[in-house]
Amino acid sequence: MDDLVTPKQVARAIGVSESTLKRWCDQGILPSIRTAGGHRRLEVQEVIAYLRHSGREIQRPDMLGLPSNTGKGARVISRTQTLLVHALIEGDEVQCRRLVFDLYLQDRSIREICDDVLAPTLDQIGELWGCGDIAIYQERRCCEITQRILFELQRTLRQATESAPVAIGGTLVKDPYQIATMMAGLILKELGWNAESLGSGLPVETVIKAVVDIQPKLVWLSVSCIDDTEYFIYTCNQLHNIAAEHRTALVLGGCALGESLRKQLSYTVYCDNFKDLANFASSLT
Amino acid sequence: MDDLVTPKQVARAIGVSESTLKRWCDQGILPSIRTAGGHRRLEVQEVIAYLRHSGREIQRPDMLGLPSNTGKGARVISRTQTLLVHALIEGDEVQCRRLVFDLYLQDRSIREICDDVLAPTLDQIGELWGCGDIAIYQERRCCEITQRILFELQRTLRQATESAPVAIGGTLVKDPYQIATMMAGLILKELGWNAESLGSGLPVETVIKAVVDIQPKLVWLSVSCIDDTEYFIYTCNQLHNIAAEHRTALVLGGCALGESLRKQLSYTVYCDNFKDLANFASSLT
DNA sequence: TTATAATTCGTTCATTTCGACTATTATTGC
DNA sequence: GCAATAATAGTCGAAATGAACGAATTATAA
């Protein structure tokens, strides 16, 4: 649940002396709790948060359960993408995690990582797949690994407060790509939302029902492909009407929503990328 | 009311060693009572009181991940299952995690948790969905939550050694249920295998290619539904031949594989449940 | 009920952490 | 450059923690 680590582990991980770490704890720079005997214990999430905003390089990531070799050498976005494509195709999950966490620990937001690294990387892999340069199982494995990395990133976020605004979302029928909707949920969580993806392959009707039941402040749809365009337009507009009744914002995203199609749709906002989503979500709070 | 828990459970729940916990009991920090034979037992209330006092989780005490279902018999399993169905449908992820981790704190193996709790629970939810008693989004949300819990469980496992036997698997086209294949991978990982699910919706051809490329010791297929039976039989048998050439065991599982169909298939072993899988995998090492 | 496996007991011992203190290094202002 | 200040690193005995052990107890199943 909440993994606690000892001062020694943290000191090694950050690369400072235990004395310094103790002082930081006492000054509140790094929040810590005490055991019954008075020993300090730190939450991994807090340590990661400190590492991110302090700009320090992590020395011993293994001490915090992070992929080893993380933090060694500054990575640039473009270089990471090249390496990541290769590592994903090879199925080298450890290397993939390392590359992503390098960026994350350098204070890149999850939003940035998704927009600037993961999305283009997966696009590239999708193209390779389309050209037949890689096997199907490799493409699927890439998605699996990416999912696991996204899940790891989610674990580093603090749990949403009770008062956090609620958001739900997912993909529609015949749309198996879970990654985009997972990213959307993750990015909203990063912004402090109580966001939850309902999964993929949802009929629009059940999304409507979910909006009525849960009454979220925001509902997102990631649309990569559409089964029946006419029907989609009809139900999507219906969803927007009902969402409006409940003061729920309808956010659409995805490559299947071309300009001509969007003209026939009503929605609160369309997002080309996750930056748009983040900006819009922030405007609601 | 007097839910008594063992020192081991409490130690795992609050993250200290058993030695320390015993000392705290003896010092009166954590009040404990003794059995006739002198073994310590703690009241759940007291542990919650301690946790709140130590400032670790100021959240609701009933959500602290402490064993609420004590005992080891089949009763606990069925009660957990009942509660879990409800919590999953309600989308109460915290409660779901707590229920599953209660079992984990009682030293149940992941295999047992999957076989005896999660699988029947999801079956039950599937039935409710089939009857229209719950909305589609609720059913999908159940799967999402279960997936995240499985991820959490996976984190508790140590990484496989270099010399560990390799296993791959997945589901076939038109078979979107990822959970079973995820469980299979997880259970093999628990046994020390270097197992990796390639994901869902794999054409058999690419599984064959993966077997040739990766040369695993075991490949599993979770088959919930079959698109084209004739074609499936042909390619599945082809897969078995190629697997045999590479000394790879072909493990089949899933509800779509009825007896009559199995007679036309060649494979190494068919598994009705994860216990079968675990037993067979153990026999290979 | 009895046999067997699993857990817990109490204890010892090595390691870690505590708090308070001093020494060293880095930063700032003049 | 130099002094003043702040931050970091190291030292010490006392206390807390975690791992290991055989013996005793409990749980589980025949």
- What are B125-148's pLDDT values in tens digits? 999 999 999 999 999 999 999 999
Q: For residues A233 and A241, what is the distance between their CA atoms, to the nearest angstrom?
A: 12
- On whether the CB atoms of residues A103 and A80 are closer than 8 A, the answer is yes
**Chain D positions with any atom < 7 A from a protein CB:** 7-11, 15-20, 24-28
CA distance B278 to B284: 10
**DSSP, residue by residue, B225-251:** --S-HHHHHHHHHHHHHHHHHTT-EEE
Residues of A in Cβ contact (< 8 Å) with B148: 151
CA distance B92 to chain A (A): 11
Q: For residue A224, give both structure tokens.
A: 């990569």
Distance, in Å, from the CA atom of B92 to the CA atom of B88, rounded to the nearest integer, reads 6
Q: What is the pLDDT of residues B60-92, one digit of tens each?
A: 444 444 555 555 556 677 778 888 999 999 998
d(CA A239, CA A28): 47
Q: What is the pLDDT of residue B68?
A: 54
Indicate the residue of B29, B135, B206 with minimum beta-carbon distance to A36.
B29
Give one word for B255, left, alpha or beta, with left for phi > 0 and alpha for psi -120 to 50.
alpha
Chain B residues 8-27 within 7 Å (CB) of strand D? 16-17, 19-20, 23-24
A174-200 as b/e: b if 16+ CB within 10 A:
ebebbbbbbbbbbbbbbbbbbbbbbbb
The shortest CB-CB distance from A137 to any of B55, B136, B206 is to B206
Pairing of strands B218-222, B249-253: parallel
Cα–Cα distance measured from residue B95 to residue B89, given in angstroms and rounded to the nearest whole number: 11
Predicted pLDDT of residue A159: 83
Q: Among A141, A173, A235, which would you mutate to test the B interface (most chain B Cβ atoms within 10 Å of its Cβ)? A: A141
- Residue with the bigger pLDDT between A44 and B48: it is A44
Q: Which nucleotide is nearest to A7 (CA to C1')?
A: C17
* Cβ distance of B54 and A37 shorter than 8 Å: no
Contact B101 A4 (CB under 8 A): no
Encoding tokens for residue A156?
């580093």
Q: What pLDDT was estimated at residue A72? A: 57
From the CB of residue B177, how many other CB atoms can be counted at a distance below 10 Å? 18
The pLDDT value recorded for residue A1 is 52
Q: What is the pLDDT of residues A110-169, one digit of tens each?
A: 999 999 999 999 999 999 999 999 999 999 999 999 999 999 999 889 888 889 999 999
How would you class B119 by CB atoms within 10 Å of its CB: exposed for 0-12, middle for 13-18, buried for 19 or more? Answer: middle
A198, A208, A213: best to mutate for the B interface, most B CBs within 10 A: A198
Asked whether the beta carbons of B44 and B58 are under 8 A apart, the reply is no
Residue A14: CB atoms within 10 A of its CB come to 23
Q: Do B209 and A2 touch (CB under 8 A)?
A: no
Nearest one of A164, A156, A214, A154 to A187, comparing CA atoms: A154
User: What does the pLDDT read at residue B49?
Assistant: 83
Mean pLDDT of chain B: 86
What is the rounded CA–CA span in Å between residue B33 and residue A96? 50
Instruction: Tell me the residue type at B207.
Output: V
Q: What is the pLDDT of residue A106?
A: 85
Using an 8 Å CB-CB cutoff, list residues of chain A that contact chain B.
1-4, 33-37, 41, 91, 93, 135-137, 140-141, 143-144, 148, 151, 155, 170, 176, 196-203, 205-207, 209-210, 213-214
In order along its 285 residues, chain A shows pLDDT tens digits of 568 899 999 999 999 999 999 999 998 899 999 999 999 999 998 999 999 888 888 888 888 888 766 665 556 788 889 999 999 999 999 899 989 998 898 889 999 999 999 999 999 999 999 999 999 999 999 999 999 999 999 988 988 888 999 999 999 888 878 999 999 999 999 999 999 999 888 998 899 999 999 999 999 999 988 888 898 899 899 999 999 999 999 999 998 898 889 999 999 999 999 999 999 999 998
Amino acid at B84: L
Residue A43: strand, helix, or coil: strand
Tokens of A130: 């389309």
Q: Is B8 left (phi over 0), alpha (psi -120 to 50) or beta?
A: alpha
Contact in structure between A214 and A248 (CB atoms under 8 Å): no
Q: Pairing between strand A40-43 and A4-5?
A: antiparallel
Residue B99 has pLDDT above 70, yes or no: yes
A141 neighbors A86 (Cβ within 8 angstroms): no
What whole-number distance in Å separates Cα of residue B142 and Cα of residue B136?
Answer: 10
Distance A63 CA to D6 C1' (A): 29
H/E segment holding residue B271: strand B269-271
- Contact between residue B124 and residue B116 where contact means Cβ atoms under 8 Å apart: no
Q: Order of strands, edge to edge, in the sheet holding B32-34?
A: B4-5, B40-43, B32-34
- Cβ contacts of residue B102 below 8 Å, gap of 6+? B65, B66, B67, B68, B69, B80
